[in-house]
A and B are shown apart, each in its own frame.
Chain A
Amino acid sequence: MKKHLNFVVLVLAAATLAGCNGTNTSSNTGSAKLKAGLITLHDENSTYDKNFIDAFKAACAKKGVEPVIQSNVPESNECYTQAADMADNGCAFVFADSFGHEDHIVRAAREFPNVQFSHASGQQAHVLKLANFHNAFASIYEGRYLAGVAAGLKLQAMIEAKPETSTNIGYIGAYPYAEVISGYTSYYLGVRSVVKEATMTVTFTNSWYDETAEKTSAENLIKNYHCSIVSQHADSWGAPTACENAKVPNVTYNGSTESKCPDTYLISSRINWEPYFEHCFDQLANKGTIETDYTGELGTTLYDGSVALTAPGKVAAVANTEEKLNEAAAKLRAGTLHVFDTSSFTVSGANVTSNVTVDAEGHVTSYKADVDPDAAYTADTEVVEKDSNGKSYIAESAKRSAPYFQLNIDGITRI
């Protein structure tokens, strides 16, 4: 009987094959509306992917583009297949949101020269110079810094209310990788701009999305490292939930967690992808060119740029947070304040690697970063620059959109 079952299934399959032609042709003769595809690593239950999905839908609605969204696409051959399938189905633009998608998207880009492909957090576009493959990111280190200022204000208020409060704060990173290192360092420098004696303990989960590991890491930081505030660069609700349970303030990423964590949500920084998607759709509509390597920036307010914050928490954040952040953001926009101002941090001991030189006090005087991707991860580009006032700083996201700051600075302990 099993053999018969499987015969019938095959017959059904054959019938399906015959029947599918109809649906295929009808989709091709659809409207002339521009179609754009989004490929995400996880789904809207991940804060990271939700940030892309929301922005994509909003930009599509605004520009009259038809969105085609495929969630849960792993960083494998399936990413290439889905991208190619979107191209097959008339998408003029395909965007993928995860770092590991890049190679697979490049493969699709080479196969479909008439379709524009783009990828978040990737590093290859400025080297490959393909006409239809692009990268995009934002100066999110500035957003992280501002979130750090908000956390610093909170820490200061906690110390004023209770002098024995620990000045150590905690951070959960996904991978020990430039995007994450740049993020937590700028956040820490933001905190330290308010509380000089603050120190930070960083732990890694080695996964972009691991709810259990993120939750237990947060609990570990709170319990065993006496962290007064916890922040994270990972995509699940694990850390915010652990903080809410332990009543420890949490600085989050990619969007507000106030709905589920009303008592402990402090603030969140995020890349707002809407301006970028709008840029792409405009260029497609006008037959223009999409920027090869797009770096989004702070907007005119804290909330409307590519680098954006979400409103400070009603319960946890300090009352004058917004005002202080506006002051700092104004300086960042004017270029009078640099997040990675070399006078604001030191590097010492084994962290002074062969691509770094420091002066007697430990301030960085020269730093070669790995900007152009290669198999050996060569440190190829000098990134210490001086502004017009002679201030020396590390120019992050200037040589390419994706972050490359990878120094281990004093005050941060990795566990």
Chain B
Amino acid sequence: MHSERKLFSWKSPLHLVKRSNLPWWQALLYRLLAVFVGLLLMCFVLWLMVKASPVAVFANLFSGSFGSERRIWFTFRKMALLLCAGLALIPAFRMRFWNLGGNGQILMGDLAAIMCMYFGGQAGWPNWAIILLMIPSSLFAGALWGVIPAIFKAFFNTNESLFTLMMNYIASGIVTIFLGAVVTSGSGTLPIQEAGHLPVIGNNDYLLVLLIAVAILAFVYVYLRFSKHGYELEVVGDSENTAKYIGINVRWTIIRTMALSGALCGVIGMLLAGAMDFTITADSAQNMGFTAIMVAWLAKFDPFAMLGTSFLVAFLDNGMASGVQRAFGITNNSIGQIVIGIVYFCIIAVEFFINYRIQFQHLVPDVEALTEKGKK
């Protein structure tokens, strides 16, 4: 006896389907949901570790980043710096040049500005002269630190990730050498420099950084969107052969783009030196070069979307540090990092669900059997 052939059968218990066009509001909902789930998980972990009530965690998260006028400015300045760093990285990223050297480029810009302040101050130069020297020095130092790996990439096809990463260590080494040379007491701590402070706008310590961030945002947007350079770097990123075929100078594009990327990092360094710290340490860049990679990726290299991602990072950072950790007396920073990591994980993971749909089971028709049946 031969059994009746089945017309339909169950196939593949787990199946991924690429989504073609998820409506924007649905994608947005997913992302918000991810943030929410991340925050819930965060509360759960904090409850496990320090018996913190979720309501108190949320309240302190907000008060830590927005609880006073100073905190609001501080959070927005942190956001502005991260935004600048992200903006500095995306021209290179859009070219598929993985610049992991943002930290080193920031630090070199910082060092160049501090050297102007230190030596200019000792020579008794007027402030405006020092500042006029600081601007090109920082831009140049940052650009130089970006161009060196770019030259090696363009001419010898060296791996740019490793190269730029290595340049970070060299930069902090150079800062240590500088400190060793000028701080003859050996403490490695350069006193606050009094000369060459960048102008304070409207008696507000934070405003200058914010305004420069807005200017860089506008510049990078226009550069990527409307300039020929912006077009060229995208073509190089998509396909070097296509770029060559249509007559783009690939090597020059790589070098030029990294010079821009590095120079923008140099601006951040100058802000650190001339508007915020007035001194330098080997950690002055505060890992912004790395945090900015996340800011840029989460925003899919879109300058305006980075407003949102840099805000999120600054908010979580300050909320955890000044709010949650202080309120619950957490003095082990690993806890804060784990908890923030969980939120980031959720945010990154949701991109998968936005791009793919999971089908658990579906019916597969047996075409042959169906046609046979149709004939009958």
| Interface membership of chain A positions 114-133, coded 1 if the CB is closer than 8 angstroms to chain B and 0 otherwise | 00000000000000000000
| Interface membership of chain A positions 177-221, coded 1 if the CB is closer than 8 angstroms to chain B and 0 otherwise | 111110000000000000000000000001100000000000000
Segment of B2-10, B138-146, B282-290, B359-367 in the binding face: B282-290
Number of interface residues of A (CB under 8 A): 60
Q: Which residues of the partner chain B approach A377 to less than 8 Å between Cβ atoms?
A: 184-185
Q: Which residues of the partner chain A approach B62 to less than 8 Å between Cβ atoms?
A: 16, 19-20, 23
B186's contact among A45, A53, A68, A177, by CB below 8 Å, is which?
A177
Cβ contact within 8 Å between B333 and A9: no
Cβ contact within 8 Å between B67 and A5: no
Number of interface residues of B (CB under 8 A): 57
- The yes or no answer to A77 lying at the interface (CB within 8 A) is yes
| Chain A minimum-CB-distance residue to B322 | A85
Q: Which residues of the partner chain B approach A370 to less than 8 Å between Cβ atoms?
A: 185
Cβ contact within 8 Å between B70 and A84: yes
Count chain A CB atoms within 10 A of each CB in B27, B32, B305, B326 and give the residue with the most. B326
| Chain B minimum-CB-distance residue to A98 | B189
- What's the least CB distance linking A274 to chain B, in Å? 16
A9–B315 alpha-carbon span in the complex (Å): 11
- What's the least CB distance linking A93 to chain B, in Å? 15
- The yes or no answer to A365 lying at the interface (CB within 8 A) is no
Cβ contact within 8 Å between A85 and B305: no
Cβ contact within 8 Å between A13 and B311: yes
- The yes or no answer to B302 lying at the interface (CB within 8 A) is yes
A2's contact among B65, B191, B299, by CB below 8 Å, is which?
B299
| Chain B minimum-CB-distance residue to A40 | B331
- The yes or no answer to A375 lying at the interface (CB within 8 A) is yes
| Interface membership of chain A positions 346-371, coded 1 if the CB is closer than 8 angstroms to chain B and 0 otherwise | 00000000000000000000000010
Count chain B CB atoms within 10 A of each CB in A1, A10, A49, A107 and give the residue with the most. A1
Count chain B CB atoms within 10 A of each CB in A9, A104, A177, A178 and give the residue with the most. A9
Cβ contact within 8 Å between B63 and A24: yes
- What's the least CB distance linking A69 to chain B, in Å? 5
A72–B335 alpha-carbon span in the complex (Å): 12
Cβ contact within 8 Å between A17 and B311: no
Cβ contact within 8 Å between B67 and A178: no
Also in contact, A175 and B308, with CB within 8 A (given A76-B277, A103-B191): no
Q: Which residues of the partner chain A approach B315 to less than 8 Å between Cβ atoms?
A: 13, 16
- What's the least CB distance linking B371 to chain A, in Å? 42
Cβ contact within 8 Å between A75 and B305: no
Cβ contact within 8 Å between B331 and A69: yes
Q: Which residues of the partner chain A approach B71 to less than 8 Å between Cβ atoms?
A: 85
A82's contact among B28, B67, B302, B322, by CB below 8 Å, is which?
B322
Query: Secondary structure at chain A's binding surface: helix, strand, loop or mixed?
Result: helix
Q: Which residues of the partner chain B approach A5 to less than 8 Å between Cβ atoms?
A: 27-28, 31, 305, 308
- The yes or no answer to B203 lying at the interface (CB within 8 A) is no
A9–B281 alpha-carbon span in the complex (Å): 34
- The yes or no answer to A410 lying at the interface (CB within 8 A) is no
Cβ contact within 8 Å between B322 and A70: yes
Also in contact, A206 and B192, with CB within 8 A (given A53-B331, A76-B284): no
- The yes or no answer to A291 lying at the interface (CB within 8 A) is no
A264–B209 alpha-carbon span in the complex (Å): 51
Cβ contact within 8 Å between A85 and B28: no
- The yes or no answer to B13 lying at the interface (CB within 8 A) is no
Given contacts A23-B63, A43-B333, A82-B322, 11 further A-B contacts (CB under 8 A): A5-B305, A23-B59, A43-B334, A45-B332, A67-B329, A69-B329, A77-B277, A81-B74, A99-B189, A103-B279, A180-B186
Interface residues of B (CB under 8 A from A): 24-25, 27-28, 31-32, 59-60, 62-63, 65-68, 70-72, 74, 176, 180, 184-189, 191-192, 272, 276-279, 281-284, 286, 299-300, 302, 304-305, 307-308, 311-312, 315, 321-322, 325-326, 329, 331-334
Q: Which 7 A-B pairs have the closest CB atoms?
A: A1-B24, A6-B308, A177-B186, A9-B308, A2-B305, A77-B276, A43-B333
